[in-house]
Amino acid sequence: MAGEETVGLMNQLDGPLTIGGVDFKTRLIVGTGKYATNQVMVDAIRASGAEMVTVAVRRVDLDRTKEEAILHHLDPGEFFLLANTAGCYTAEDAIRYARLARAAGFNEFVKLEVIGDEATLLPDVQATLEAARTLADEGFKVMAYTNDDLITALRLEDAGCVAVMPLASPIGSGLGVVNPYFIREIKRRLSVPVIVDAGVGTASDACVTMEQGVDGVLMNTALAAADDPVRMAHAMKHAIVAGRLAFLAGRMPSREIAVPSSPTRGMLD
Amino acid sequence: MEATDTISVRLNGKDRMVDAGHTVASLLESLELHPGMVVVELNREILERDHYQDADVSEGDTIELVHFVGGG
């Protein structure tokens, strides 16, 4: 099968992505929100090849009009669940959501997200740092969503985060990497994995992101809001691999002059 | 028929009347919720699953029942 061949080849060309002591064969992490149907979600996630998938913690709707529990559709034996603290605006709330998520009993990982502004959904980095310190002290494996600021990224690493996740551009914007230099600088300076979280819109964005040398990409809307999420998931899977291998291969220098590819000698008179 | 005693609790942000004498486990059962699928917070404290059977639901309790939903 083509899929297995790809995995086999990737094992020779690239190592696993290790986050908090857990190895992942793919560098794409996907969300589970905003899909038109649960079936499309599951099909898209399978097509993406992602092993780690994010979920949110919410109240059970006691006047249930539909089966909204994600675990009715996603097998926790098949996917590694990464609970998020999406929607939290204070460190205290994020800590509360993280503790609830851990009590569900799957793992110690949490995608920490503390939002500071409703319009841009940009992170409150001060509150994120505060929550990261508390959660890391409590034994959580914190993967922290942050902006593309190097100093915050370094502090999150110091706080004990197992991964730092700068945004490419605002959540759900699909604008791609607005500041590749900052992303590269964060990757250069951190020892923990750097996962770019949010802002990827299409396959080329994912590829360009991976070409910056980061360890992985987390996306949700780019798949869920595509006209054909399953087809886009296939595209993203390949884009992540392409960008990763291009980074590892080391690109040729770019220059603003032409250099012939064929010999200039041996031309006929 | 004997009238059942009811108590008022704050359940997922809404005041609700429930039968008196519930444990958290029996409350979940009455709501048709699988204990393995939800996490319970009782008066702001997370209740471990092993304690659902012996945690009594009392008048005025604040109970949050949460689970995983789709998210990014």
- Which residue ranges make up each domain of chain A? 29-59+69-249
Cβ contact A31:B72 at 8 Å: yes
Q: Report the CATH fold assignment for A29-59+69-249.
A: TIM Barrel (3.20.20)
Q: How many domains does chain B divide into? A: 1
- Distance (Å) from the alpha carbon of A208 to chain B's nearest alpha carbon: 21
Residue B39: its chain A contacts at CB < 8 A? 57, 100-101, 103-104
3-state secondary structure of B47: strand
**CA pair distance A131, A6, nearest whole angstrom:** 39
Tell me the pTM: 0.92
pLDDT category at B2 given cuts 50, 70, 90 is: low
User: Up-side HSE of residue B55: CA atoms within 13 Å toward CB?
Assistant: 18
Confidence check: pLDDT of A64 > 50: yes
Angle at A111 between CA A190 and CA A132, to 5 degrees: 65
Question: Does the residue B17 lie in any domain?
Answer: yes
Domain that holds residue B60: 6-66
Question: Does the residue B38 lie in any domain?
Answer: yes
Quote ipTM for the complex. 0.92
**A189-214 residue pLDDT tens:** 999 999 999 999 999 999 999 999 99
B17 in A contact zone (CB under 8 Å) = no
Best CA proximity match to A113, nearest among A100, A129, A101: A129
- Distance of alpha carbon A121 from the chain centroid: 16
A228 in B contact zone (CB under 8 Å) = no
From the list A58, A105, A198, the residue facing B69 with the nearest CB is: A58
Cβ contact B4:B20 at 8 Å: yes
B7 in A contact zone (CB under 8 Å) = no
From the list B11, B64, B68, the residue facing A104 with the nearest CB is: B68
**CA pair distance A66, A72, nearest whole angstrom:** 11
Confidence check: pLDDT of A1 > 50: no
Q: What are phi and psi of A55, to 5 degrees?
A: -135, 160
Cβ contact A129:A156 at 8 Å: yes
Supply the pLDDT for residue B23.
97
Confidence check: pLDDT of A163 > 80: yes
Confidence check: pLDDT of B1 > 70: no
Best CA proximity match to A241, nearest among A23, A35, A5: A5
Cβ contact A17:A24 at 8 Å: yes
Give the residue-averaged pLDDT of B5-25. Answer: 96
Question: Does the residue B59 lie in any domain?
Answer: yes
Supply the pLDDT for residue B31.
93
Q: B70–A62: do the CB atoms touch at under 8 Å?
A: no
Question: Does the residue B71 lie in any domain?
Answer: no
**B35-70 residue pLDDT tens:** 999 999 999 999 999 999 999 999 999 999 999 999
CATH at B44: 3.10.20.30
Question: Does the residue B16 lie in any domain?
Answer: yes
User: What percentage of chain A carries pLDDT values higher than 90?
Assistant: 90
Confidence check: pLDDT of A235 > 70: yes
